[in-house]
Structure 1
Amino acid sequence: MTLYVCWGTVGGGGHACSRAHQALKEAGHEPEVVKARGWGALPDAFNGGRKEVIELTGQKHVPVLVTDGGEAVHPSEKIVEWARAHPTA
């Protein structure tokens, strides 16, 4: 599974990317983390991670989870719900 985030997964529980990552970890998942650095308004040519997010979801906002089954889950609230519904143990 892959989790697309802005700058990282730290920054406290109030940040959407951090909340999504923390929920996945608490559910026992170890997602590959792809940093889609920069703000969503940056030109796509300068941001490979954002280009992938656009290809997957049709929009630029992160976090986005891509499950092992290929399902794209977003926004962060849906990722948290998905993690709680799919614990590893």
Structure 2
Amino acid sequence: IKPGSSVNLSLYKGFLDGKLAVQLQANDIFNTSSSDLLLYSGNRIMIYEPESRRSFGMTVRYKFNATKSKYKGTGAGDSQKSRM
């Protein structure tokens, strides 16, 4: 890992035949993404240190009335494909 680069992680798990999904996210796990800013202005030196970019999140999705496609296909375009 290069210095100053961040390590992110995402985990996804589906439940109940795909109706329920849970995703966990973690950004900048080791808090290494720093971008300090050093400003020179005449006889002043200013150092700006931004806050941590580390973040964690969780997403929960549920599909109500989720139905699978009943389309079976009849091959209606097969004759046209074979003609070409």
- The higher relative CO (CA closer than 8 Å, separation ≥ 6) is in 1
Larger radius of gyration: 2
The TM tier, using the shorter chain, reads: under 0.3
Structure (1/2) with the larger helix percentage: 1
Structure (1/2) with the larger strand percentage: 2
TM, length-normalised to structure 1: 0.23
